[in-house]
Structure 1
Amino acid sequence: MKKSKYSLLLVLTLVFSLILAACSGGNEGADNSKEEENNAASDVPQEFKMLDSSEIPTMDTVLAEGSTSFTYIGNVGEGLYRLDKDGKPVPAMSDGEPKVNDDKTVFTFTLRDAKWSNGDPVTAQDFVFAWQRAIDPKTASPYGPYMMGGKIKGAAEITQAGADKKEYDLNTLGVKAIDDKTLEVTLEKPVVYWEDLFAFPTFYPQNQKFVEEKGEAFASNAENLLYNGPFKMTKWEGTDAQEWVLEKNPDYWDAENVKMEKITVNVVKDSGSAVNAFEAGETDMTGLLSSDLVPQYEGDERMMSWLDASVFWLKMNQKNEALANVNIRKAIAMAFNKEDLATSILSNGSVPANYMVPKEFVNLDGKDFREANGDMLVYNVEEAKKHWEAGLKELGKTELTIRYLGGDTEASKKIDAYMKNQLETNLEGLTVELESVPFAVRLERDNAMDYDLQMAGWGPDYGNAISFADLWVTNGGSNRMGYTNEKYDELIKKAQGELATKPKENFEALQEAERILLEEDAGIAPVYQRASNILINPNLKGLVEYQYGPDYSFKWMTMQGE
């Protein structure tokens, strides 16, 4: 839940209520064994209530770009693959593994017998329509170009034609319906993580007739959506909704393995209120733990905690003249105490990040990417001041005012206030104007590059370091801060191309790219790698968290008796 989005996990709270898993892949929480799942008492209602910290920005798979959207979409929809209980991609809408040509660029999928929630069959054309819609420049999908470009044949050319205001043909995209049950996908080049790719929500199908009939109303509320996944939304009144309901989808092909009948979600942004609701038995799960509450639940069986694969950083918009100066960026990146932020403000197990690619995410021959590439842009006030003075001199200024776009949740406000104080204290002449806005507004402002600084984060979309590195290529779909470096672009191009099937060389190219982004350019200012903490009813079993894609799955959940 990059995503994205910028398919970013834009910081809304200390811990998103929708969370990414630790790097073991999938993780069944609260001692969720298969035996326990199968022992759900027949007289125990299979339903639960949970709290979320933000509204759902969109339920359109093509327009989704944040972890909240991707997680709910991932529970009501399904692609060719889906992540299983261990976080591994397995065939879903695909009836078994595809046929693959010798050079691993053409995949032929046979679809299983599956239905939409209105009774229509899921067909190969549903995938063609959705993928073409995602790459169509007219749609302005924030994730389509990012997920497809350089991977699905023809995607990059369509995106470029749109940017150049030239004609393009969506039928040149490498996806074709041979018949209702046969889908052919052509890649630009071999992609080692193709299964992860086809499990991601951007690649889910859409019913063309339904979408076109609904027009602008499509995905505006629960009634204007179709579902082919484990659940369907029976209540959701749109992007401002403070409550929504998921119920078991009886038309789902694997419905016999879905035990949970109903999930009710309410939005609560205040951590104290969320915890009070949990303690009063009004909700069964909440991820809204403020830092001062985490120690109180240490050792409590109701709290689950882990270090996940999400990294947070300051984005510095180079449309701003001052932030286009590398010395100013380096000064900002080294002027705040990450250790203090992690221990005193977050205080939830999160750790300081002096990197882009997280710890314990990818490794080569047993050596972690992070261990091999070390730390960069470490907190150092003296060095920060030197860069600050040099930058001001180059700009011909003695002081600067920079806008900081912040979140509106309790936890976000604490983090943002801390950052403002640190930067103003350690960089003489800097004034930080802090503005706190809701999640949806932040996405809009990010898309429009209407900010100077903002705290943002990223959780990987597939199990490869390129999921982080690809964010910052020049004019990339997620690079909405004006960063550009030809050498960086070339390294990413090689990593995705000629080095894609050469693990050692690929690893080294991505490490060099990270050093360019951080050590040379300070393109972003890393802040912390997130730890996640949730409170969950001990009787609620089978929650599976993921390190990439949807934050977690409700498919295998059950409510046990006391």
Structure 2
Amino acid sequence: MKNTKWLLLALGLAISLLLGACSGGSSETGSSDSGDEQKSSSESEQVLNLIETAEIPSMDSSLTIDALASQWLGSTKDGLYRLGPDGKPEPGIAKNHDVSEDGLTWTFHLRENATWSNGDPVTAHDFVFAWQRAVDPDTGSEYGPYMMGGVIKNATAVSEGEVPVDELGVKAVDDYTFVVTLEKPTPYFESMTTFGTFLPMNEAFVKEQGDNYAMEADALLSNGPFIMTEWDHGEGWTVEKNKDYWDADKVKLQQINVSVVKETSAAVNLYETGKVDRVNLSSEFVDEYRSSEEFQVEKEPSTFFLKMNQENEILANKNARKAIQMVINRQAMVDVILNNGSVPIGGIVPGNFVKHPKTDEDFREVNGSLVETNVEKAQELWAKAKEELGIETAELRYLGGDTEVAQNLDAYIKDQLEKLEGLSIKVESVPFQVRLKRDKNMDYDLENYGWGPDYIDPNTYLNIWVTGQANNKTGYSSEKYDSLIKKAATELALKPAERFEAFLKAEQLLIKEDAVLAPLYQRARAQLVKPYVKNVTPNPMGPDYTYKYAYIEGK
């Protein structure tokens, strides 16, 4: 969920962002809020026009695993906390909270003036229902067990059907007091509560809608800054200011219109003709617009890599996986194919994300690059793998996206991989929703995949690959790896430096020794943004952007 974790199957760049999604870097414009600016913004039409490259699969916060849904859930709903203009948690439905001395009991005090868009009050019972629903095995959520397991008391036991859902460590003491009991001290738990999986739900409304819940605009309730008023599947959607929002005075935008446009050339044309206010640029447009005052590069803590399905006989061979890691020229990929500020990466934890508690060194700098580009050595490993497998040739299915940029990137990677003698790659370019389903069913051999953080901690990238985790989907299982991640979560939970070291070892095992993934790049977005768009801020996790404080000035 980022996935965000939410998964990332690159949205807006090469692949569609799955869960986790997230953006980093500076805000699109300054965040000054002077009286003169307020006056100016009130004289401009407060309508923002945007583009996405895919359709929202669902707005059900228990079931979504992609960053696109994360973005619009975060825009239409408030959790206990939400991401503020600085990318840090700020009060949402919770005014504040208390934590017990042992760090296990969190008591959230809810505001009494928050309502759903049907007029019902938002209460502690809405959180109890939503969190229980997320781990109820009958719901079939991927993210509920992933995000809550090992964090909320009894979450894993509930999700595995061992105990009833009412034994989950959550309770409503009264309408406006919500108490959460954790399995272990979790210092980053406050930031987790901003994530989509932890959003509240109105039980009566959800049950009334049944299977149609969160699949249409009129099958949704909002308690956040905006309300989804239109949802034309495949074409786009509209959100409008929620006039009954508890903090409505802070919301200046009256409407956000989103159009689904997959081709960059068409999106740029819409931008040039003033029909949209922001556009992501593919490589062929970057040089054309680099000198524009409206051009900007936004770096993110999102990493992309090839997942390799070890249920495939060829990819079950470690030498084959290592050959795939080594044959790809990552530098040429980011310089020529992406050309948007993205940088090569040799691991899964991004740079400028977390630092060593004692030395203040960046995680990525400490672990360095765990893969190299070495075509000669890759050929040797591939020859050894073929000998071990008793084959001369091989074909692998490569699951990719159907956007223009995705197909360009996937064609490049196909060309790189086919340098391995006797290997042919069959690229299967499919729509976003199909990719989600096929990933879930492990219906791929190789998959271009990405991950953005759900909270600010290395665990958000490394916990994915534990045996049996819902988002693993690679067939990878290692007792040694599982032990490192478990140790970081338990006996080292309150020993920050030792915990950090355990994560460093885990990434080395995952990438360098076991070659589970082939790291590709850390993403950046090259964009054009209209100068009249103010206070849209990128987030380090969860929704890519915060629109609550955005406004139009001087259009």
TM-score greater than 0.5 by the shorter chain: yes
Q: Does 1:71 align with 2:71?
A: yes
Aligned residue runs from structure 1 range 515-530, under 5 A: 515-530=508-523
| Partner residue in 1 for 2:320 | 328
Tell me how far 1:4 sits from its aligned partner. Answer: 5.2
Aligned residue runs from structure 1 range 123-134, under 5 A: 123-134=123-134
| Partner residue in 2 for 1:21 | 23
Contact 1:15–1:533 (CA under 8 A) maintained in structure 2:
no
| Partner residue in 2 for 1:383 | 377
Tell me how far 1:153 sits from its aligned partner. Answer: 0.7
1:179 to 167, 170, 174: 174
Aligned residue runs from structure 1 range 91-490, under 5 A: 91-96=91-96, 98-113=97-112, 114-161=114-161, 167-237=162-232, 240-287=233-280, 289-364=281-356, 365-425=359-419, 427-490=420-483
Tell me how far 1:33 sits from its aligned partner. Answer: 2.8
- 1:109 counterpart letter in structure 2: F
Q: Distance in 1 between matches of 2:291 and 2:111?
A: 45
- 1:424 counterpart letter in structure 2: E
Q: Distance in 2 between matches of 1:103 and 1:127?
A: 23
Contact 2:124–2:176 (CA under 8 A) maintained in structure 1:
yes
Tell me how far 1:13 sits from its aligned partner. Answer: 4.4
- 2:67 counterpart letter in structure 1: S
Contact 2:50–2:257 (CA under 8 A) maintained in structure 1:
yes
SS at match of 2:43: coil
SS at match of 1:202: helix
SS at match of 2:61: coil
SS at match of 2:8: coil
Contact 1:53–1:268 (CA under 8 A) maintained in structure 2:
yes
Which structure 1 segments of 5+ residues have no match?
162-166
Tell me how far 1:406 sits from its aligned partner. Answer: 1.0
Q: Distance in 2 between matches of 1:256 and 1:518?
A: 48
Q: Distance in 2 between matches of 1:350 and 1:394?
A: 37
Tell me how far 1:534 sits from its aligned partner. Answer: 2.0
Equivalences, count: 548
Tell me how far 1:397 sits from its aligned partner. Answer: 1.1
Q: Distance in 1 between matches of 2:137 and 2:206?
A: 17
Q: Distance in 2 between matches of 1:65 and 1:200?
A: 11
Question: Per the alignment, do residues 17 and 33 of structure 1 end up closer, same or farther by CA in structure 2, a change over 3 Å counting?
Answer: farther
- 1:111 counterpart letter in structure 2: L
Q: Does 1:543 align with 2:542?
A: no
SS at match of 2:299: strand
Contact 2:306–2:446 (CA under 8 A) maintained in structure 1:
yes
- 2:302 counterpart letter in structure 1: S
Tell me how far 1:193 sits from its aligned partner. Answer: 0.3
Pick which of 378-387 and 35-44 moved more.
35-44
Contact 1:30–1:302 (CA under 8 A) maintained in structure 2:
no
Contact 2:2–2:543 (CA under 8 A) maintained in structure 1:
no
- 1:391 counterpart letter in structure 2: A
Contact 2:2–2:22 (CA under 8 A) maintained in structure 1:
no
Tell me how far 1:16 sits from its aligned partner. Answer: 7.2
SS at match of 2:542: coil
SS at match of 2:211: helix
- 1:136 counterpart letter in structure 2: D
- 1:472 counterpart letter in structure 2: W
- 1:385 counterpart letter in structure 2: Q
Contact 1:398–1:429 (CA under 8 A) maintained in structure 2:
yes
- 2:116 counterpart letter in structure 1: W
Q: TM-score, normalised by structure 1?
A: 0.95
Q: Distance in 2 between matches of 1:42 and 1:227?
A: 25
C-alpha offsets along residues 413-452 of structure 1, whole Å, 9 cap, x if unaligned? 0011111111112x10111111110000000000011110
| Percent of aligned positions that are identical | 48
C-alpha offsets along residues 174-217 of structure 1, whole Å, 9 cap, x if unaligned? 11111111111000000010111111111000000000011111
Q: Distance in 2 between matches of 1:17 and 1:78?
A: 24
- 2:111 counterpart letter in structure 1: R
Q: Over the residues paired in the alignment, what is the CA RMSD in angstroms?
A: 1.5
- 2:460 counterpart letter in structure 1: S
| Partner residue in 1 for 2:83 | 83
Contact 1:117–1:227 (CA under 8 A) maintained in structure 2:
yes
Tell me how far 1:159 sits from its aligned partner. Answer: 2.5
- 2:170 counterpart letter in structure 1: V
Contact 2:128–2:171 (CA under 8 A) maintained in structure 1:
yes
Tell me how far 1:44 sits from its aligned partner. Answer: 1.3
SS at match of 1:476: coil
SS at match of 1:387: helix
- 1:108 counterpart letter in structure 2: T
SS at match of 1:122: coil
Contact 2:94–2:111 (CA under 8 A) maintained in structure 1:
yes
Tell me how far 1:304 sits from its aligned partner. Answer: 2.3
Contact 2:400–2:410 (CA under 8 A) maintained in structure 1:
yes
Q: Distance in 1 between matches of 2:464 and 2:274?
A: 42
Tell me how far 1:503 sits from its aligned partner. Answer: 1.2
Q: TM-score, normalised by structure 2?
A: 0.96
Tell me how far 1:14 sits from its aligned partner. Answer: 2.3
Q: Distance in 2 between matches of 1:325 and 1:505?
A: 32
- 1:257 counterpart letter in structure 2: K
Q: Distance in 2 between matches of 1:235 and 1:195?
A: 32
Q: Distance in 2 between matches of 1:55 and 1:398?
A: 41
- 1:160 counterpart letter in structure 2: E
Tell me how far 1:37 sits from its aligned partner. Answer: 5.1
Tell me how far 1:17 sits from its aligned partner. Answer: 9.2
SS at match of 2:229: strand
C-alpha offsets along residues 247-300 of structure 1, whole Å, 9 cap, x if unaligned? 00011110000000011110110001100110111111222x111111222242
Q: Distance in 1 between matches of 2:41 and 2:459?
A: 45
C-alpha offsets along residues 212-244 of structure 1, whole Å, 9 cap, x if unaligned? 01111111101000000000001014xx33121
Pick which of 259-268 and 290-299 moved more.
290-299
Q: Distance in 1 between matches of 2:518 and 2:226?
A: 39
